[in-house]
């Protein structure tokens, strides 16, 4: 029962912090969303900062596991098109499945997140370079651009925007990356 209570609180806190940001979020809103009293939350986490850090740590581990399990796979791709078809679409799925955490990590300054996001960005560039060598590009910037695009269309989806079709934009972006790589490859 204690683990279920803690998880309900963490899930509610993730939603509230994602929607309002750290400063505007309050324990009363989190308690209401979780279905518990403010006292229960303070008894378990002591402070809003402790609760916030716990959701960051918990979700950071899940995000890193999902990236390792689904995105950064040890798989041989036949062509750059195969690589991008797989990696961009699966990255979009992982970002969407972890969107509230990713949204917080982009919008809030926190020492827990900063080092990891830099590490992830570096690894994305390295992963692209390993799978599509001999490009005359900055791999880190290219990987960062892909992640930013996915974040932006995911944010539009999260906010309920209607001007873009999420799946169509991911497909079109994938095609643009394939086209870009085909014009940038060195012999």
Q: Which residue shows structure tokens 């791709």?
A: 77
Q: Which residue has the higher pLDDT, 15 or 113?
A: 15
How far apart CA 82 and CA 70 sit, in angstroms, is 15
Distances in Å between the Cα of 183 and the Cα atoms of 136, 176, 187 are: 10, 11, 11
**Band of the pLDDT at 187, cuts 50, 70, 90?**
low
CATH 2.60.40.1080 fits 1-46, yes or no: no
pTM of the model: 0.84
Residue 186's pLDDT is 59
CATH number for the segment(s) 58-184: 1.10.357
Which range, of 51-65, 89-103, 111-125, 159-173, averages the lowest pLDDT? 111-125
pLDDT for 100 equals: 94
Write out pLDDT tens, residues 23-74. Answer: 999 999 999 999 999 999 999 999 999 999 999 989 988 988 998 899 888 8
Instruction: Give residue 120's pLDDT.
Output: 77
Q: What is the pLDDT of residues 11-31, one digit of tens each?
A: 999 999 999 999 999 999 999
CA–CA separation, 160 and 158 (whole Å): 5
**Higher confidence at residue 122 or residue 131?**
131
Could you report the per-residue pLDDT of 126-184, keeping only the tens digit for each? 899 999 988 889 999 999 899 889 989 999 999 888 878 999 999 999 999 999 988 87
Q: What is the pLDDT of residue 112?
A: 66
pLDDT value, residue 135: 86
Q: Where in the chain is the domain with CATH 1.10.357?
A: 58-184
Q: Where along the chain do the CATH 1.10.10.60 domains lie?
A: 1-46
User: From the CA atom positions of the chain, what is the Rg in Å?
Assistant: 19
> 132 — phi, psi (to 5°)?
-140, 75
**CA-to-CA dists, residue 80 to 5, 47, 172, angstroms:** 46, 48, 15
């Amino acid at each position: 029962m204690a683990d279920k209570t803690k998880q309900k609180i963490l899930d509610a806190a993730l939603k509230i912090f994602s929607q309002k940001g750290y400063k505007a979020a309050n324990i009363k809103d989190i308690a209401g969303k979780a279905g518990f009293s403010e006292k229960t939350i303070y008894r378990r986490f002591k402070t809003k900062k402790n609760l916030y850090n716990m959701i960051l740590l918990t979700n950071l581990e899940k995000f890193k596991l999902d990236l390792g399990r689904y995105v950064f796979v040890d798989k041989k791709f036949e062509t750059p098109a195969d690589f991008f078809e797989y990696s961009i679409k699966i990255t979009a799925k992982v970002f969407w499945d972890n969107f509230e955490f990713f949204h917080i990590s982009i919008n809030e300054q926190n020492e827990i997140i900063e080092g990891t996001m830099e590490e992830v960005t570096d690894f994305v560039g390295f992963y692209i370079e390993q799978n599509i060598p001999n490009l005359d590009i900055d791999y880190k910037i290219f990987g960062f651009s892909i992640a930013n695009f996915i974040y932006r269309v995911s944010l539009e989806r999260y906010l309920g925007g209607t001007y873009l079709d999420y799946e169509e934009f991911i497909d079109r972006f994938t095609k643009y990356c394939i086209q870009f790589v085909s014009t940038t490859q060195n012999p």
